[in-house]
């Protein structure tokens, strides 16, 4: 059976779609969670659908995701300090601000949802 996985950005809008094959809803959810972790830091969650039926909406790893984004922002700021080229420095600092914005948005969403962010639906 084919399921659609909608990868969500920091605003919970669809940023990418992937079709996965699975025999059951549970297997589809497991594969979607694996795909979400494999996608890296760019997504805040995934929705899994079987045709017109939403199976589940899973958030990323919540606090762990926020920690990774904050660490990435700090790495970029540290790297920017080593550049003598102003354009390169600004690009790295801009990327760091983007990671901070991702972390801030997820923190706010987790507060609105009551804290865990592990699953919503």
Same domain (yes/no): 54, 70: no
Same domain (yes/no): 6, 34: yes
Same domain (yes/no): 44, 68: no
pLDDT digits (tens, 9 = 90+) for 75-84: 999 999 999 9
What is the rounded radius of gyration, in angstroms, for the C-alpha atoms of the chain?
Answer: 17
Q: Which of 101, 118, 119 is nearest to 41 (CA)?
A: 101
89 pLDDT tier (thresholds 50, 70, 90): very high
Least confident of 18-22, 48-52, 60-64, 93-97: 60-64
Of 12, 43, 59, which marks where a domain is finished?
59
The CA distance from 71 to 62, in Å, is 14
The CA distance from 93 to 100, in Å, is 10
Same domain (yes/no): 12, 46: yes
Does 30 have pLDDT greater than 70?
yes
115 pLDDT tier (thresholds 50, 70, 90): very low
Q: Could you identify the residue written with the tokens 């550049």?
A: 83
The reply to whether the predicted model has a pTM over 0.85 is no
Q: Work out how many domains the chain is built from and give that number.
A: 2
Same domain (yes/no): 69, 39: no
Distances, alpha carbon 29 to alpha carbons 1, 34, 98, in Å: 13, 9, 29
Structural domain containing residue 100: 63-120
């Amino acid at each position: 059976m084919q399921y659609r996985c909608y990868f969500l950005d920091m605003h919970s809008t669809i940023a990418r779609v992937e079709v996965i094959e699975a025999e059951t809803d549970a297997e589809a959810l497991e594969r979607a969670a694996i795909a979400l972790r494999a996608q890296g830091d760019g997504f805040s969650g995934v929705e899994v659908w079987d045709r017109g039926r939403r199976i589940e909406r899973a958030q990323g790893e919540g606090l762990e995701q926020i920690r990774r984004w904050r660490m990435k922002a700090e790495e970029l700021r540290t790297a920017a300090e080593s550049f003598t080229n102003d354009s390169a420095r600004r690009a790295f600092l801009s990327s760091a601000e983007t990671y901070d914005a991702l972390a801030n948005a997820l923190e706010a969403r987790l507060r609105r949802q009551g804290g865990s962010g592990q699953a919503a639906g």
